[in-house]
């Protein structure tokens, strides 16, 4: 009489859960590891299929495992890459040239961003007062003093670490303000599209259309950040 495969799997799971510590200890023994290596060497296709299915079923466990391995073997991995880059230098350069030829626009964008990142880091290191003044002007003075100082400090730290570019300070203020609100739960963020009081009226319907702005002289700080009048 053929056994029900679902019952077999369920019984195996119960056994594994009940004897988990014993199985883990047995799996780490040299004899068990040697058996596993021989079994994998004899059935490479079956082993590859099992690994593929495991990655599909448990992506989080695979990611966490690789992260733990990289942390525990950081020096070993760094030494391997250093040796590999020396032994395969010509191959790496050839691959790099082919990639740059196929993705010229993307490479130029990365290079431009790298230049802007270096310029921002250089600015805050050599002229921190000017960078602080620009960031301070971008953050609204209507915020409470303690909150405004925290947002400014987080943005200055982001500039120093290369996460935030100076020309994006004004556009990214909302992001850092949102991070502060989320971290300290200062304000509750309301959706403009959400209905009010269960009615069909939305908050966005109560907002008046903005009046057309008059052309004003461009802020010299913004011109400076764009590289027009660089003081760095």
> Nearest 5 degrees, angle CA 15-CA 20-CA 26?
105
Lowest model confidence (mean pLDDT) among 39-48, 107-116, 182-191, 214-223: 214-223
Identify the helix (H) or strand (E) that includes residue 53.
helix 44-57
Gap between the Cα atoms of 168 and 171, Å rounded:
5
Percent of the residues in the chain that have a pLDDT greater than 90, as a whole number = 27
Torsion of CA 54, 60, 64, 67, to 10 degrees: 90
How many Cβ atoms sit within 10 Å of the Cβ of residue 143?
Answer: 16
Q: Name the nearest CA neighbour of 157 among 184, 139, 131.
A: 131
pLDDT 10s digits, 154-212: 999 999 988 898 888 888 898 998 888 887 765 555 555 666 655 666 666 666 555 55
Res 216: pLDDT: 55
Gap between the Cα atoms of 121 and 161, Å rounded:
7
pLDDT at 232 over 50: no
Res 225: pLDDT: 53
Mean of pLDDT values over 122-126: 89
202 strand-pairing partners: 195
Tell me if 157 sits within 8 A of 180, measured CB to CB: no
pLDDT-derived band at 132 (thresholds 50, 70, 90) equals very high
Whether pTM > 0.75 for this model: the answer is: no
pLDDT 10s digits, 33-73: 788 788 888 888 888 888 899 889 889 989 998 999 999 99
pLDDT-derived band at 4 (thresholds 50, 70, 90) equals confident
Q: Name the nearest CA neighbour of 206 among 195, 217, 214.
A: 195
How many Cβ atoms sit within 10 Å of the Cβ of residue 170?
Answer: 17
Res 108: pLDDT: 92
Strands, DSSP E only, in the chain?
none
How many Cβ atoms sit within 10 Å of the Cβ of residue 150?
Answer: 19
């Amino acid at each position: 009489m053929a056994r029900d495969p679902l019952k077999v799997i369920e019984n195996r799971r119960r056994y594994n859960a009940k004897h988990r510590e014993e199985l883990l200890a047995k799996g780490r023994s040299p004899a068990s590891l040697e058996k596993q290596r021989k079994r994998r060497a004899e059935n490479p296709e079956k082993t590859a299929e099992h690994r593929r299915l495991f990655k599909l079923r448990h992506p989080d466990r695979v990611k966490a495992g690789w992260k733990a391995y990289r942390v525990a073997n950081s020096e070993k991995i760094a030494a391997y890459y250093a040796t590999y880059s020396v032994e395969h230098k010509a191959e790496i350069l050839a691959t790099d040239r082919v990639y740059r030829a196929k993705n010229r626009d993307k490479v130029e964008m990365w290079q431009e961003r790298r230049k802007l990142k270096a310029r921002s880091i250089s600015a805050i290191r050599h002229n921190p007062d000017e960078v602080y003044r620009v960031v301070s002007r971008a953050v609204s003075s209507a915020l409470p003093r303690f909150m405004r100082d925290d947002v400014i400090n987080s943005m200055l730290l982001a500039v120093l670490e290369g996460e935030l570019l100076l020309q994006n300070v004004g556009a990214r203020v909302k992001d850092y303000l949102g991070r502060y609100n989320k971290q300290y739960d200062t304000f509750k963020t309301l959706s403009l599209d959400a209905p009010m009081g269960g009615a069909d009226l939305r908050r966005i319907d109560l907002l008046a259309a903005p009046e057309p702005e008059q052309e004003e002289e461009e802020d010299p700080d913004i011109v400076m950040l764009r590289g027009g009048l660089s003081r760095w």
